[in-house]
Amino acid sequence: MEASSFSELALSRWDYLNLLVLRPALAIAFVLFLIFLGWLSAWKLVLVHVPLVQEIFGLRKKNAKPKPPSRRLSKIYNTIDARNSAS
């Protein structure tokens, strides 16, 4: 009677493989999948629209606008130069 109960409690190689290798590997893979899924959803919903993240990852090209020749400070300096040359 004891021999049959002992053989029922003994673990086979498949049980050891399942317990020591497959379960932890699947648990780690599941957690990494959840982290990846959370990151992907945060990226698609929020992070793509943040200007700082766009600049870091090069998602938005900065438009280089040419500076107009008659800017505010240049107008001021031109009027000062005109006054000085007139005097």
6-18 pLDDT, tens per residue? 556 667 877 888 8
**Which percentage of the chain shows pLDDT scores above 70?**
78
Q: What is the pLDDT of residue 28?
A: 97
Question: Domain residues of the chain, as ranges?
Answer: 2-61
Spatial separation of the C-alpha atoms in residues 82 and 87, rounded to whole Å: 9
Q: What is the mean pLDDT of the chain?
A: 80
* pLDDT for residue 1 is more than 80: no
Spatial separation of the C-alpha atoms in residues 59 and 86, rounded to whole Å: 52
Q: How confident is the model at residue 38 (pLDDT cuts 50, 70, 90)?
A: very high
Q: What is the pLDDT of residue 36?
A: 97
Q: Please, what's the largest Cα pairwise distance for the chain?
A: 122
pTM of the model: 0.49
